A and B are shown apart, each in its own frame.
Chain A
Amino acid sequence: MNKPSGTAKLSVKDATKFYDTNSGPLHALDKTSLEIADGEFACVVGPSGCGKTTLLWSVAGLHSLTSGEVSLDGEAVTGPHPQIGMVFQEANLLPWRSLIKNIEFPFEIKRENPDRVHINKLIDRVGLGGFENKYPRELSGGMQQRAAIVRALSFNPSVLLMDEPFGALDAFTRDEMNLLVEEIWLETRKTILFITHNITEAVFLSDRVFVMSSRPGRIAKVFDIPFSRPRTLDLLATKEVFDLVNEIKAEIEHSPSPSQNAGGKPARAPLNEEAGADG
């Protein structure tokens, strides 16, 4: 048990990832580094296929990095970690299980008794009370994603990774979910790494926004988001947010390719759409 070397709860150091594809190696991540403090809400934004999901999967220990290191509390993350909960794109509930069975799924895998009190509290908190025995297909997209959040929080991890969780939702539901996530974060103070391609969402939610350049992905710039908490949807109508969103947008559009930046030979794989790592 090493003591954390720095103050970072979660740190990614020089993460590089190549995928083997039929058309040769695909350079998805290029020496990406970031550090997130305990209890911080951080967002990663970037264009489609820039390696955001690859970064998140690596942090979650779902696949290995070609080189580089992910560490949690100063210890290397080499596989799925009990302190990390993950919320996937499009809820990713198991359609053959009822809502409550989906939420208790992590406990089943870990061969533990589900913490019913905690789970019921969470279910009520996100407004899913009374829907426990419904099946995913009977629930709206927003409700499915609420269930996915409860599932990720059910075993009380200290870090929550969210992979474009609201990308498939309509704008109104998305706003609602963003408010809910902020509230939950304020209540629990989990360390959250949230991935999105919606800049407004990123600005609304986070303390810091990491901007990723397109493939191979790399952190191009970090923005501090100064607005006080709790934030309301009115904030989104202010000039400050508008300017910040535009500034981030400009950064994404004009960020030079890191491979050119580095002066080395371009390590970029053919930009083929199907290989996009962000669906």
Chain B
Amino acid sequence: MVDKHLGDKIPEFSKNEAGNQSVGLTNLSAFASGPGIRSIGEVLAIISVAVIIIGGAEFAIRTMEIPQYVMPPPSAIVTALFTDFEFIGPHLGYTLVELFAGYFVGASIGLVLAAVITQFPFAEKIVAPYILMLVTTPMLALVPLLILRFGFGYEPRIIAVALASGPMVMINAATGFRRVDLAKIALARSFGASTFQIFLKIRVPMALPMIIVGLMIGAIFGLLTAVGAEMVGGGFGLGNRLTTFSATLQMPQFFAVILILSILGILIYVFFFLVGKKWASWES
């Protein structure tokens, strides 16, 4: 029994074959160079810059008497966030339900497809153009169609989120699974590892950094698509609040929703940053 991956390969272990290619934005160096606060001085500097920017905006908007429907001052936005939270909070819940449901479905399918397809290079060649199409087509464009078919409930949004996040997860995970390090496979094989063990104990860990990057990008695309889909149609969700508040010129409330969305995006990034630090720090 000779392993099918080693089968007839020339045992050469060139560095670039081991998957040291950098993948631009999706490279994990984005994690490595992430925040790392060293001293109290740095903390103070970061806080003071934030105070200057926010305070400066507040001061400028008030002294220049910019009308509230153009740009409300930061204090009005924060006030609206708290006073009107009872009108915004439930919609945050709806958006999160869509995001989690769609992302769970999309990311699961994306991961499984990536793992399966990279095992069959020929199948990969056949499927590649469609995946590329899914990645590059804005799934928001399909939302009106989905609404026609599924109505104004959760379904079209969850489907849109799944369609947006799945291919992102898949394409990154596939890049990870394609990193074949012949020497490491040979190592496992020399102890008698089965193909499944090689997959589980060599391929998955090797792919993990790229999988985490894919999950992060997929989650952020999912959030974008959920909000976008809510803006297209239906009566609930943060995106729906954005259209409503802007139509009624409730700008502090509008920006409060924007604030919530940015916090969601940052939370997604920080979550995956920590996951990457824990599970993929060996890479850097």
Stretch of A6-14, A53-61, A233-241 contacting B (4+ beta carbons < 8 Å): A53-61
CA distance A162 to B19 in the complex (A): 25
Contact among B190, B197, B201, B208 with A62 in the assembled complex (CB-CB below 8 Å): B190
> Do B8 and A20 touch across chains, with their CB atoms under 8 A apart?
yes
A172 contacts the other chain (CB 8 A): no
Give the secondary structure class of B's interface. Answer: loop
- A54 / chain B contacts, CB cutoff of 8 Å: 10-11
Which residues of chain B have C-beta atoms less than 8 A from A88's C-beta?
183, 186-187
Q: How far is the CA of A147 from the CA of B13 in the complex (A)?
A: 20
Q: Given A79-B1, A80-B192, A137-B282 in contact, is the A62-B13 Cβ separation under 8 Å?
A: no
Which of A30-38, A103-111, A224-232, A257-265 lies at the interface with chain B? A103-111
Report how far A54 CA is from B8 CA in the complex, Å.
10
Residue of B1, B191, B280 most packed against chain A (CB within 10 A): B191
Count A-side interface residues using an 8 Å CB cutoff.
42
B13–A79 CB distance below 8 A: no
Our pick among B10, B14, B193 for the contact of A21 (Cβ within 8 Å) is B10
A78 lies within 8 A of B186 (CB)? no
B189 at the interface (CB under 8 A from A): yes
Q: Is the CB of A105 within 8 A of B191?
A: yes
The residue that A277 contacts in the complex, of B1, B10, B184, with Cβ under 8 A, is: B10
With a CB–CB cut-off of 8 A, which chain A residues contact B188?
Answer: 105, 109
Contact between A109 and B191 (Cβ–Cβ < 8 Å)?
Answer: yes
B2 contacts A89, C-beta separation under 8 Å: no
In the complex the two chains form, is A79's CB within 8 Å of B201's CB?
A: no
Q: Which residues in B have their C-beta under 8 angstroms from that of A80?
A: 189-192
A121-137 near B? 1/0 per residue, CB < 8 Å: 00000000000000111
Inter-chain contacts of B191 with A (CB < 8 A):
80, 105-106, 109-110, 155
The CA-CA distance from A96 to B282 in the complex, in Å, is 5
Q: Is the CB of A109 within 8 A of B6?
A: no
The one of A61, A78, A109, A135 that contacts B197, using a Cβ cutoff of 8 Å: A109
Q: Is the CB of B190 within 8 A of A19?
A: no
Chain A residues closer than 8 Å to B58, beta-carbon distance: none
CB-CB under 8 A from B187, the residues of chain A are 86, 88, 92, 94, 105
Given known pairs A19-B8, A92-B183, A109-B197, the reply for A86 and B190 (CB within 8 Å) is: yes
Q: Which residues of A contact B186 (CB under 8 A)?
A: 57, 62, 88
> Is the Cβ of B183 less than 8 Å from the Cβ of A89?
yes
Contacting B at CB under 8 A, from A175-201, are none
* Contact A109 B201, CB 8 Å, known A60-B190, A96-B208: yes
Interface presence of B124 (CB below 8 A): no
A70 at the interface (CB under 8 A from B): no
CB neighbours of B283 from chain A (8 A): 95
What separation, in Å, do the CA atoms of A49 and B64 have in the docked complex? 76
CB distance from A192 to the nearest CB of B (A): 15
Chain B residues with Cβ below 8 Å from A92 are: 183-184, 187
CA of A19 to CA of B11, assembled, Å: 10
> Which residues of B are at the interface with A, using a C-beta cutoff of 8 A?
1-3, 6-14, 183-184, 186-193, 197, 201-202, 205, 208, 280, 282-283
The 9 lowest CB-CB distance pairs between A and B, nearest first, are A79-B1, A109-B191, A106-B191, A95-B282, A86-B190, A96-B282, A80-B192, A109-B193, A96-B205
Residue numbers of A with Cβ under 8 A of B are 19-21, 26, 28, 53-54, 57, 60-64, 78-80, 82, 84-86, 88-90, 92, 94-96, 105-106, 108-110, 135-137, 155, 274-279
Identify 17 new A-B residue pairs, CB closer than 8 A, beyond the known A62-B190, A64-B7, A94-B205: A54-B10, A57-B11, A62-B186, A62-B189, A63-B3, A79-B1, A80-B191, A84-B190, A85-B190, A88-B187, A94-B184, A94-B202, A95-B283, A96-B282, A110-B192, A279-B12, A279-B14
**8 A-B residue contacts at CB 8 Å?**
A19-B10, A62-B2, A62-B3, A62-B11, A62-B186, A62-B190, A79-B192, A85-B190
